[in-house]
């Protein structure tokens, strides 16, 4: 199932420009994290394909080898993403200094408001309205749509709307202290 899903649904929408952006973050020494509301069962193969080792996803409960429909942790959705990321950073010695967060959804507004560089790829109408109204107090890099077209090329098409993947860049505390 995963192999067919990756071949038929994911591979066709992974663009070279998006892979190049991930590589640019790697070369800068950034820690890449995918944080998504979608469950790990679906997103783990995508994270492996993209070479992103840290995946924060909604964790689904299993009982006797079957999914129950319940979550085993805080759902990785809206404020839950912030909570899950903060816990991961505390456990792993990272913070959000000079962080990047790429999103397309208004559901990610709580995390977009926390990072240094909030970038929306093909934002949904509500997120676009927030950016246009400048109600994010500068959290979204402006002009949002122009920045995407000029600066990021195909990132908005990396995983389009199918899985709403997020890539977060966080700085190790040791690097921050060394500055």
DSSP 29: T
pLDDT by residue for the chain (179 residues), tens only, comes to 788 888 888 888 888 878 888 898 899 888 999 999 998 988 899 999 999 999 999 998 999 989 888 889 999 999 999 999 999 999 999 988 888 888 888 898 898 888 888 877 777 888 878 776 655 544 444 333 323 222 222 233 344 333 334 444 444 444 333 33
What pLDDT was estimated at residue 78?
A: 93
The answer to whether 156 touches 104, Cβ cutoff 8 Å, is yes
Which spans in 79-164 are helix H? 79-92, 109-112, 125-132, 144-147, 160-163
- Tracing tokens 């991961």 back to the chain, one arrives at 88
Give the contacts of 42 (CB within 8 A, at least 6 positions apart).
5, 163
What pLDDT was estimated at residue 82?
A: 94
Q: What is the largest CA-CA distance in the chain?
A: 50
What does pTM read for this prediction?
0.74
The answer to whether 165 touches 159, Cβ cutoff 8 Å, is yes
What pLDDT was estimated at residue 134?
A: 57
67 exposure class (CB count in 10 Å sphere: 0-12, 13-18, 19+): exposed
């Amino acid at each position: 199932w995963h192999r067919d899903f990756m071949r038929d649904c994911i591979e066709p929408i992974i663009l070279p420009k998006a892979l190049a952006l991930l590589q640019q973050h790697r070369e800068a020494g950034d820690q890449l994290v995918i944080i998504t509301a979608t469950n790990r069962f679906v997103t783990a193969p995508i994270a492996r394909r993209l070479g992103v080792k840290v995946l924060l996803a909604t964790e689904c409960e299993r009982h006797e080898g079957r999914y129950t429909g319940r979550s085993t942790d805080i759902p990785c959705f809206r404020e839950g993403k912030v909570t899950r990321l903060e816990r991961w950073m505390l456990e792993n010695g990272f913070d959000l200094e000079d962080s990047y967060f790429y999103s397309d959804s208004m559901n990610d507004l709580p995390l977009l408001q926390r990072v240094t560089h909030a970038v929306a790829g093909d934002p949904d109408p509500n997120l676009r309205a927030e950016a246009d109204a400048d109600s994010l107090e500068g959290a979204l890099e402006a002009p949002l749509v122009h920045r995407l077209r000029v600066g990021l090329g195909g990132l908005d098409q990396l995983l389009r709307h199918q899985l709403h993947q997020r890539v977060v860049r966080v700085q190790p505390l040791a690097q921050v202290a060394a500055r």
